[in-house]
Amino acid sequence: MSAKAGRIMSSEGKARVTLHVVSSLDGFIARKDNSVSWLDGYGTVYEAGVSISEEEAAAFVKAIDCYVLGSRTYEHALELGWPYGDTPTVVLTARKLPSTRKSVEFYSGDLETLLVEKLAPRYRNIWLVGGAILSQRFLELGLVDEIRLTIAPILLGDGLRLFGSSLTEQRWVLKNVVAYKNGFVELSYSASTV
């Protein structure tokens, strides 16, 4: 069975994979030293932008059924403070990493099998949250239904590239744009069917 975007079924309907990542204006997702402190707000205010309340943010996060992340993102998240709460989280690694939380399970191997056999039967709203290596693999395999790319108002000059150079041309369809008061802009795209 091929699990191209939009064709992965869960027991309750269609499972959707959303890739969410925050990039600098020049296309980096982490500084060269791995730091991501530039993700924090800068206090600048874009008057026409929106802001979301804590309640809205909490409701949004509650709707996410499962997170998927690469081992390097996992290790960094443990260092910085776990942002995924008790939501089930699958970490991709071929290493034997220490299990730190009940909600975390590890997986190694074929990503299509992961989605079709392990995730889609259990979850509908699946969020792939990086990093660059894992995101690229999911995109190469056509396993992403939606890209939510948030652009931070900063040039980093150097660092970890959002997407490397191995991707082939793919069209995506713009679905939504949200500009926030803090100057961040979120672009949502769905996979093109043509």
Ligand X SMILES: NC(=O)c1ccc[n+]([C@@H]2O[C@H](COP(=O)([O-])OP(=O)(O)OC[C@H]3O[C@@H](n4cnc5c(N)ncnc54)[C@H](OP(=O)(O)O)[C@@H]3O)[C@@H](O)[C@H]2O)c1
For 3, counting Cβ atoms within 10 Å of its Cβ (0-12 exposed, 13-18 middle, 19+ buried), the class is: buried
Residue in 22, 66, 68, 143 binding ligand X, rule: CB under 6 A:
22
Residue 160 makes contact with ligand X by CB under 6 A: yes
Q: How far is the CB of 87 from ligand X (least distance, A)?
A: 16
Q: Which two tokens stand for residue 32?
A: 């060269």
Helix (H), strand (E), coil (C) string for 137-158: HHHHCCCCCEEEEEECCCCCCC
Rounded least distance, CB 189 to ligand X, Å: 16
Q: Is 123 left (phi over 0), alpha (psi -120 to 50) or beta?
A: beta
Q: From 6-14, 70-78, 115-123, 176-184, give the range in contact with ligand X by CB under 6 A.
A: 70-78
Residue closer to ligand X by CB (options 149, 179) is 149
The helix (run of H) or strand (run of E) holding residue 160 is strand 160-161
Residues 111, 94 contacting (CB under 8 angstroms): no
Q: Which is nearer to ligand X, 108 or 192 (CB)?
A: 108
Residue 143 Cβ, how far from ligand X at the closest point, in Å?
A: 11
Binding site for ligand X (CB under 6 A): 21-22, 29-30, 34, 36, 69-73, 76, 92-95, 108-109, 111, 129-134, 137, 160
